[in-house]
Amino acid sequence: MPRYRLQVAYDGTAFHGWQRQIREDGSELRTVQSALQRAVFKAVREETPVTGASRTDAGVHAVGQVAAFTASRSIDVERMSMALTSRLPEDVQVTHADVVADDFDPIKDARSKCYRYDIACGRPPATWPPLFDRHVVFRTPFELEAALMARAATRLLGEHDFAGLAQKHHGRDNTVRTIHACTVDRIASDRIRIEVVGSGFLYNMVRIIAGTLLEAGRGRIDEARIDEILATRDRRLAGQTLPPQGLCLRWIHYGDSVLPPGFPGRHPAHRSNEPRLRDSPS
């Protein structure tokens, strides 16, 4: 039976996250997985589980989520994206589809992931809060120094125990992860962008990293605090967990290599709202 891989983009504002959730009364919360599951059923006319690579939280967005399902018959992948998107609500799109090996697992086979966190900063009247993109950026009234944030971010690189940068109830036995890149850029006078590339992430880890770097940008902590957090695994030393709306899953890389071809240079997935899905984003 053929197995299909999908690249999925969504505005997470009105969703209770990616993962399907059932209430005690048997009704379902509105989740991306449930919406996609229904669309696949309507398109292929059979019940087949749809598995996602990353369990994004309520309010978190994605342009590079990866999902997979197996069908009993062959389906034209050239038309699949359109067929599924036409059956999805307007805040979800399937941007690409392809055929993969029968044993493809979107979770276990992922080699690295990239998340982005956008922050709007500054005080009125010089800088007004976001209006039209308020659901995709976090707003802080403080001025932030991107250079301080970038220096702190370099301390996260490499393999570490990230228990101090995750929620206490993260549900993982192993809290060791590898961060391949963590960059901070001022993309406009009032906008800061954080991008984190890693082997995987713990619950709320990127949002806590962003909150900690924000404190560095305010001058409230120095870069040595990062080393202390990693060494002690003490969550109390880190910054707040920033809200979900500033977070977006950019891409997930698959293939023989740990990172996409051309990394650590800027990857095309960083320049497009709809990166194509192959063995790596391109």
Token reading at 192: 């800061």
User: Tens digits of per-residue pLDDT, 106-133?
Assistant: 999 999 999 999 999 999 988 899 999 9
Residues 130, 32, 191: CA angle, nearest 5 degrees: 20
Q: How far apart are CA 259 and CA 255, in angstroms?
A: 9
**What contacts 246, CB < 8 A, 6 or more positions away?**
117, 118, 119, 136, 137, 138, 210
Domains of the chain and any CATH numbers: 3-100 (3.30.70.580), 112-263 (3.30.70.660)
For the whole model, what pTM was predicted?
A: 0.91
Q: How far apart are CA 194 and CA 43, in angstroms?
A: 37
Exactly one of 25, 57, 102, 234 is catalytic; which is it?
Answer: 57
User: Tens digits of per-residue pLDDT, 158-198?
Assistant: 999 999 999 887 667 899 999 999 999 999 999 999 999 99
**What contacts 81, CB < 8 A, 6 or more positions away?**
6, 93, 94, 95, 96, 97
Is residue 98 flagged as an active site residue? no
Q: What is the pLDDT of residue 171?
A: 66
User: Tens digits of per-residue pLDDT, 33-57?
Assistant: 999 999 999 999 999 999 999 999 9
pLDDT band at 280 (very low <50, low <70, confident <90, very high): very low
